[in-house]
Amino acid sequence: PLIYQELRNKGMIQIDSLNAGGTHRAMTEKEIRIKLGLPKQINFTHYYNHEYNDPEQLVIVGEIPASFVAEKTQGELSQSIPVVVNKLITEDYDLIIALSGTLPHEAAGYAGGLKVFFPGISGPEVIDLLHWAAVLIGIPRIIGTVDNPARDVINKGSSYIFNKIKAPTISFNMVFEETGQVVIPKGLYIGTGFNGFIDAYKQATRASSQLHIVYIDKPLEFAVQVIDKSYDEIWTAGKGSYKLQSPGVMEKGGEIIIYAPHINCFHSRPEMDFALKQIGYHCKDYVKKYLESNSEFSKNVAAHVINVRGQGSFDVHSGKEEFNFKVTLATGISKDVCESVGLGYRNPDSIRKEGFIGPGKLWIENGGKYLYKIK
């Protein structure tokens, strides 16, 4: 609201918003207004959702060379990445303001900064390849780190985007805590232009590392991630698993329980929900083998199932997988469906906080928001 009022005071007539949703479902105008904190008397001219799979919304602005991608993935992926972005960003606006929250992220180190452009408002191939590259690099090497190979790819792709942006561009990186439905601001870091985005992002990560990383003394046998209703699919609730995968956090054979009785699907987009059920949740070696005979399968979906299921091994001869820990859903998804995709099941009605308090156990409110590490 403060930004809106300041722009109006400066004589701005048209103010549009673009939801940088990647592959997430489109948000309603009501949801966008709530997210931006807009009272009833404030109305934007347009509320746009980025539709990543609509070619009419997209424009190609460059290409990341295959050699650069190969270097960053240590040869695991030797493929160029086309830099495809929502064409609104290249139009004749007077000012572009990018708003983003900063907290540990599995595919970028931390959310925020240039990630809002690349892959936030990018095309399907960008999103697929970027998330796949992050998986090949590995979550433990990326999550909670400021400078990492995945962030290098994000910055490289964004440099092509900035070459095509006509308007001055400002980054607002917010760092905050959440208690129930209450958001508590802790920091705001601002930068202008390409280098300013990077500087503001790095400042925000320093604050986030103090707020969003929790250090524990010993490995966990059981961890329950209590997922907020703002995460309405396993696609987002899966962060509850990601954030517990730093080396040593989970005991060998331990169990991560994603507790979310309100969740009834893997993804709110039917085609992605189908794809997730088709492949199931597996380790990296299994998925790489699967992609050899299913080369057109979404690498973004492939990345997600690896990220949620965590590290493991696959014997190509026996078809057997072994994992470092179990991942269990206590949601509205049935036991049969959970088991069909390779995940455990618990009846959500059986989950009680008092059963997960004590040595080797952890009950985590605001699940998926905090990264856990061993001291």
Q: Is the pTM of this model over 0.85?
A: yes
Domain residue ranges of the chain, discontinuous segments joined by +: 2-211, 215-374
109-110 and 213-216 strand pairing: unpaired
Q: What are the tens digits of pLDDT across the range 326-360?
A: 999 999 999 999 999 999 999 999 999 999 999 99
Task: Yes or no: say if 228 and 236 are a contact pair by the CB < 8 Å rule.
Answer: no
How far is residue 175 from each of residues 99, 180, 209, 269, measured CA to CA in Å?
A: 11, 16, 10, 29
Strand ranges for 235-360 from DSSP E: 250-260, 312-315, 320-323, 325-331, 344-345
Identify the residue with better confidence: 127 or 224.
224
Mean pLDDT of the chain: 94
CATH for the 2-211 domain, from 3.30.420.40, 3.20.20.10, 3.40.50.11440, 3.50.50.60: 3.40.50.11440
Distance of alpha carbon 242 from alpha carbon 214, whole angstroms:
14
Q: Residue 315 above 90 pLDDT?
A: yes
**Can you name the residues that pair with 104 across neighbouring β-strands?**
110
Cα 18 to Cα 3: distance, rounded to the nearest angstrom: 15
Domain 215-374: which CATH class? alpha beta
- Of 43-47, 153-157, 282-286, give the lowest mean pLDDT range: 43-47
> What would the pLDDT profile of 216-244 be if each residue is shown by its tens digit?
999 999 999 999 998 999 999 999 999 99
Residue 180's pLDDT is what?
Answer: 66
Is the pLDDT reported for residue 181 higher than 80? Answer: no
Give the C-alpha separation, 150 to 154, whole Å.
6
Q: State residue 253 phi and psi, 5-degree precision.
A: 85, 5
> 178 - beta bridge partners?
183
Could you tell me whether strands 109-110 and 104-105 are parallel, antiparallel, or unpaired per DSSP bridges? antiparallel
Query: Looking at per-residue confidence, does 278 or 29 come out higher?
Result: 278
Sequence-ordered list of residues with C-beta below 8 angstroms from that of 41, at least 6 positions apart, any chain? none
The 8-class DSSP code of residue 117 comes to: T
Kindly report, residue by residue over 239-277, the tens digit of the pLDDT. Answer: 999 999 999 999 999 999 999 999 999 999 999 999 999
Contact 261, 226 (CB under 8 A): no
Instruction: Record the tokens describing residue 348, joined without a space.
Output: 């959500």
Lowest mean pLDDT among 16-25, 65-74, 148-157, 185-194: 16-25
Do 273 and 305 touch, CB atoms closer than 8 A?
no
Q: In what helix (H) or strand (E) does residue 374 lie, and over which residues does it extend?
A: strand 371-374
- pLDDT at 219 (0 to 100): 98
Taking residue 67's Cβ as centre, other Cβ atoms within 10 Å add up to: 10
Confidence grade of residue 174 (pLDDT, cut at 50, 70, 90): very high
pLDDT number for residue 166: 95
**Closest C-alpha to 182, from 373, 374, 365:** 365
Instruction: Tell me the pLDDT band of 198, cut-offs 50, 70 and 90.
Output: very high
Which residue in the block uniquely carries the two structure tokens 């088709």? 278
Instruction: Tell me what the mean pLDDT of segment 17-32 comes to.
Output: 88
Mean pLDDT of 180-190: 87
